[in-house]
Each structure stands twice: as structure tokens, then as C-alpha cells.
């Protein structure tokens, strides 16, 4: 679908949308002529990651790793990269974002595709218990092996989607030589952007199709790197009547309390932005200082709609700037 | 019988004793040579290691970078024409007396010494306010 040239971006822009990894994926390029090639790159990366890191596919490489019973297992370079990325994120966030939350997620009933969980699952909220911890996972790069202790389930979901966005943006820019935004579930990577930057609508839910959707309460231009949003308003379900969601605190294995409704962070890459926005959710009130100390521009929204920004997040210019 | 007794040494085993003494002296000499050779070798290795470190620090682009991976050793690419495994850039070899216990190699799965811990990197360019309609939307998913 080719959209007319709008606003500051004078070059015609093309947008492509597909579904994968349990969410929507968007691609915007500055050169309509490369759209077919660019969309193939996006589809290819989504397929590869799904085959690699899905918790819900018995034939995924991650599922095979979980069946290895704690033995060092030779994995593909792609899975090695995905696991390393998740561990790096865990280290960079001081363990606030931990890939070993998979077991806790299973205890909350999120053990299959979300469409089958959304209607609610039976059971009761398990007692608070720390997750095994990312340091229990061992990666040996020279031998290409990963060791996951028996019983530990990795959830690479968030960092894997962000990794796909970074890879797609990089591949499209290299292969097609144009500006590109690749977005997986609202976590986006920008490469070779036009000088004015790509405009991104901020909201609680990334799935709106209409770019002019009035639900956008702010729009920002992103020139490079990545931007990601974590929100408690989506991916919620009931567990025996108790509402739970998908952002877990590794210290308790339970959903984080709703200090923030939505957090958006801009960083050097989509993986880093995703790490920071998720960590902010886990850190709660301490997130503002944590983000500020790392010079990460961020926009945090409380459950009642109050907006808190962390410099150098830009001042809002449009309507609905928040209370 | 001519009445003479066979000529014998005053010390029946004199030859053996002399041979043993000669052998001992030879062994001691060889021992001294061995010790000297060992010291020279250890000294040469130490000197080579020190020179290697000096040269690697003196020449830009020839530096070993400790691994920065999260849980396994990795190499840093792009360090000029010198491979990451260049002996001159590896950790200095400490001359070790033969009586010392050998240095145990670190298992590959242990966390390496990290020079720069993993961080969440800030953006090169910060987002800018705009009135332009959104091309994509960020949000939870």
C-alpha cells in the first residue's frame, strides 16, 4: 500500500503490514520501488525467529533446547545470537528483564498462543517466587552451545521481536539503500531515515491500522536507533478470575504492579529500547531515575493518564499532550 | 708356573671407582648445564613476554580486548590487521618455576573478566516533536 507523501517527509513512503510472532509487523520504506524486496526480508526474519524461539511450537529450536535436560546443547548461530541478546539485556537491566521468566509465565497459564489464553484460563495465582535467574543459563560461543538448567523455560519473546526489528531495518537499508522503519509489535528500529525522521504515533496499543488514528496522543519523529513501548493495557487475561498480564517481575515471578500503564523509551537500538521500557515497568517508581541516569529519553504514563517524561524526551506539540 | 703372580692393581676395583667418580662429575656438569639452560630459557621467555607487551602497547591498533559477552568469551572484531589471537597481544606469560603448580585453564563456560559491562545505550539522535501524521504506531502488543 503506497501512501501519499505527507508532511516533512517529502519522499513517497510505502507501508507494509503483516502478522507474526504473535503480533503485527509494520514496514515503512522511503523508496516504493524496494517494497517487494523489503517485505520479503521482513517475512523471512519473522519466519526464522518463529521457527527458532517460539515457546509454543514443539518443533522450535528453543523447545528442543528445553528438552535437553540441562546438558550443553549445540544451537544455530541465530539462536545463539537470540540467547546472547537476552542475556545481555538481563545484565544491562540488572536482572529486571530476565529471560528465565518463562517458567513463571507458564504457571500463570500463558503456555500456548495468546489467542488461546486471552479468554481466560483456570487455576490460581501462584505464590511469589523468584525466577531461576539469567545467570543460570550458560553460553559457550566457541563451541556454539547453550546450557539451560533442567526445568528452566526461557521466554525470549520481547528481546527476540526487538532483535528482528533491528535485523530487518539493517538488512533493508543495506540491501535496498533506503530509509526504513521496521516495527514488531510496536517496537521499532529506524535505519537510513530521511533527515526529518519517521513520525511515530504513541499509544497504548500498536495495532491500530490507521496512521491518522485520533487515539494517538502524541507523535514524535525518530531519526535513528530504536523506540519501544511496554504497556499493561494489552496481553492481559484472567487466571481463575484474577486479571494478570505478561510483564513479570523476576523477583516474584508475578505480574508487576501497575505503577505505569505505558512506558515508551528511545535508545540506540530497538533491543535496547525494549529492554529499557520493560525494565521501567519492573522498576516502578525507580524507573524515572534509572532512565535518567542512562540518558534514555522516555515517556511514562500512569494508570490514570498522567504523563511523566525523562529528558531529553521532546516536549509535546500536538493535542492530547497528557494531563 | 713361572713363580710370578699375575699383575694386579693395588685396588682391585680402582677402575670402577674412577669410572664412578668420572660419571658423577659428568652428571654434575650436565646438571649445571641443564640448570643454566633452564634459567636462560625462562629469562628469554620472560623477556619476550615483556617486550611483547611493550610493543603491543606502543603500537596503536595492536591491543587485546577482553571479552565483553554476557556469559562467554567473544572477540572484538576490527582491531586492525592483527588477529585477536596474535601471541603478542595475548595476556602476558608469567615465567613459572618448574616446581610451581601449573595454572589451571579457565573453563570456557565461566564468565570472562568484563571490561565494559552491558549497558542500555542511549540514542544517537533524540526523538523530535512533530505534527506530521504518524507512519507507524508504537504501543503495547
Q: What is the pLDDT of residues B29-71, one digit of tens each?
A: 888 898 888 898 888 888 888 887 766 655 443 333 333 333 3
Structural domain contains residue B34: yes
Question: Structural domain of residue A220, as residue ranges?
Answer: 2-310
Full domain range(s) for residue B60: 18-66+81-98
Q: How far is the first Cα of chain A from the last one, in angstroms, to the nearest whole number?
A: 36
Residues A75 and B2: their CA atoms lie apart, in Å, by 97
pLDDT at B12: 56
Provide the number of structural domains found in chain B: 1
What DSSP designation does A121 have?
B
Give domain status of residue A261, yes or no.
yes
Instruction: Answer yes or no: is B29 within a domain.
Output: yes
What is the DSSP annotation of A10-28?
Answer: -S-EEEEEEEETTEEEEEE
CATH code where residue A250 lies: 3.10.520.10
Pick left, alpha or beta for residue B92 (phi over 0 → left; psi -120 to 50 → alpha; otherwise beta): beta
The neighbouring-strand residues paired with B137 are: A201
Q: What is the pLDDT of residue B135?
A: 74
pLDDT at B1 over 90: no
Do B137 and A93 make contact, defined as CB atoms within 8 angstroms? no
Are residues A26 and B136, on separate chains, in Cβ contact within 8 Å? Answer: yes
* Residue for grid cell 552491558: B118
- Subunit contact B118:A91, Cβ cutoff 8 A: yes
DSSP A30-45: S-GGGHHHHHHHHHHH
Q: With respect to residue A315, please indicate whether it lies within any of the assigned structural domains.
A: no
**Residue B74 located in a structural domain:** no
Q: A213 and chain B: CB distance < 8 Å anywhere?
A: yes
Strand partners, A184: A25, A187
The helix (run of H) or strand (run of E) holding residue A290 is helix A287-293
- Cα dist from A75 to A66, A98, A157, whole Å: 12, 20, 18
In a domain, A219, yes or no: yes
Residues 110-149 of A with CB under 8 A from B: 135, 137-143, 147
What pTM, to 2 d.p., does this model score? 0.70
Q: Which residues of chain A have pLDDT under 70?
A: 1-13, 205-217, 316-323
Tell me phi and psi for residue A198, to 5 degrees.
-85, 135
Tell me the pairing of strands A73-74 and A138-140.
unpaired
Chain A residues close to B130, C-beta within 8 Å: 7-8, 196-197, 199, 219-221, 317
Chain B residues touching residue A275 (CB < 8 angstroms): 120
**ipTM confidence:** 0.79
Size of interface A-B (CB pairs under 8 A): 220
Distance from CA of B38 to the nearest CA of A (A): 35
Neighbour-count burial for A60-80, b at 16+ CB within 10 Å, e otherwise: bbbeebbebeeebbebeebbb
Q: What's the grid cell of residue A301? A: 504514563
Residue B132 domain flag: no
In a domain, A129, yes or no: yes
A223 touches chain B (CB under 8 A): yes
Q: Is A127 exposed, middle or buried (0-12, 13-18, 19+ CB in 10 A)?
A: exposed
Would A316 be classed as within a structural domain? no
B69 to chain A, closest Cα gap in Å:
7
Tell me how far apart the alpha carbons of residues A21 and B89 are, in angstroms, rounded to a whole number: 44
Flag whether B51 is in a domain: yes
What pLDDT, in 10s, does the model give residues B86-105?
Answer: 333 333 333 333 334 444 44
Nearest CA in chain A to B121: A268
Residues of B with CB under 8 A from a CB of A: 69-74, 108-109, 117-141
Count of domains for chain A: 1
The minimal CB distance from A92 to the residues B73, B108, B118 is found for B118
Specify the pLDDT at position A216: 54
- The shortest CB-CB distance from B73 to any of A141, A212, A221 is to A141
Query: Which residues, 6 or more positions from A244, have their beta carbon under 8 angstroms from its beta carbon?
Result: A108, A109, A125, A236, A237, A238, A254, A255
DSSP B134: P
Q: Could you tell me if residue A323 is inside a domain?
A: no
In a domain, A144, yes or no: yes
Q: What is the model's pLDDT at position B58?
A: 53
Amino acid at each position: 500500500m503506497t501512501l501519499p507523501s505527507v508532511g516533512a517527509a517529502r519522499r513517497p513512503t510505502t507501508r507494509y503490514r503483516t502478522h507474526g510472532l504473535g503480533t503485527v509487523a509494520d514496514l515503512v520504506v522511503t523508496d516504493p520501488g524496494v517494497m517487494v524486496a523489503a517485505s520479503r526480508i521482513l517475512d523471512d526474519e519473522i519466519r526464522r525467529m518463529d521457527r527458532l524461539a517460539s515457546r509454543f511450537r514443539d518443533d522450535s529450536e528453543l523447545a528442543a533446547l528445553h528438552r535437553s535436560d540441562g546438558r550443553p546443547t549445540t544451537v544455530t548461530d541465530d539462536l545463539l545470537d537470540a540467547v546472547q541478546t537476552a542475556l545481555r539485556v538481563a545484565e544491562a537491566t540488572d536482572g529486571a528483564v530476565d529471560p528465565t521468566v518463562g517458567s513463571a509465565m507458564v504457571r500463570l497459564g500463558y503456555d500456548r498462543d495468546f489467542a488461546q489464553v486471552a479468554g481466560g484460563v483456570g487455576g490460581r495465582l501462584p505464590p511469589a517466587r523468584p525466577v531461576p535467574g539469567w545467570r543460570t543459563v550458560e553460553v559457550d560461543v566457541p563451541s556454539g552451545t547453550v546450557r539451560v538448567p533442567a526445568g528452566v523455560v526461557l521466554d525470549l519473546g520481547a528481546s527476540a521481536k526487538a532483535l528482528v526489528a533491528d535485523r530487518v531495518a539493517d538488512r533493508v537499508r543495506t540491501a535496498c539503500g533506503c530509509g526504513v522503519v521496521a516495527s514488531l509489535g510496536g517496537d521499532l528500529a529506524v535505519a537510513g531515515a530521511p533527515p526529518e525522521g519517521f513520525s511515530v504515533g504513541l499509544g497504548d496499543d500498536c495495532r491500530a491500522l490507521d496512521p491518522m488514528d485520533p487515539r494517538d496522543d502524541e507523535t514524535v519523529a525518530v531519526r535513528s536507533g530504536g523506540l519501544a513501548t511496554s504497556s499493561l493495557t494489552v496481553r492481559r487475561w484472567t487466571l481463575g478470575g484474577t486479571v494478570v498480564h505478561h510483564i513479570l517481575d523476576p523477583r516474584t515471578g508475578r505480574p508487576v504492579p501497575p505503577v505505569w500503564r505505558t512506558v515508551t523509551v528511545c535508545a540506540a537500538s530497538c533491543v535496547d529500547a525494549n529492554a529499557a521500557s520493560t525494565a521501567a515497568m519492573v522498576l516502578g517508581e525507580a524507573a524515572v531515575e534509572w532512565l535518567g541516569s542512562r540518558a534514555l529519553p522516555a515517556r511514562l504514563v500512569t494508570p490514570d493518564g498522567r504523563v511523566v517524561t525523562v529528558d531529553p524526551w521532546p516536549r509535546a506539540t500536538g493535542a492530547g499532550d497528557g494531563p | 708356573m713361572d713363580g710370578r703372580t699375575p699383575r694386579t692393581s693395588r685396588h682391585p676395583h680402582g677402575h670402577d671407582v674412577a669410572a664412578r667418580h668420572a660419571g658423577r662429575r659428568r652428571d654434575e656438569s650436565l646438571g649445571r648445564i641443564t640448570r643454566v639452560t633452564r634459567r636462560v630459557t625462562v629469562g628469554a621467555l620472560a623477556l619476550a613476554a615483556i617486550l611483547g607487551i611493550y610493543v603491543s602497547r606502543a603500537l596503536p591498533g595492536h591491543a587485546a580486548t577482553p571479552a565483553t559477552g554476557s556469559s562467554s568469551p567473544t572477540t572484538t572484531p576490527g582491531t586492525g590487521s592483527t588477529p585477536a589471537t596474535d601471541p603478542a597481544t595475548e595476556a602476558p606469560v608469567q615465567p613459572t618455576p618448574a616446581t610451581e603448580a601449573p595454572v589451571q585453564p579457565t573453563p570456557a563456560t565461566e564468565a570472562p573478566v568484563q571490561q565494559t559491562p552491558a549497558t542500555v545505550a542511549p540514542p544517537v539522535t533524540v526523538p523530535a516533536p512533530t505534527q506530521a501524521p504518524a507512519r507507524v504506531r508504537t504501543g503495547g502488543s
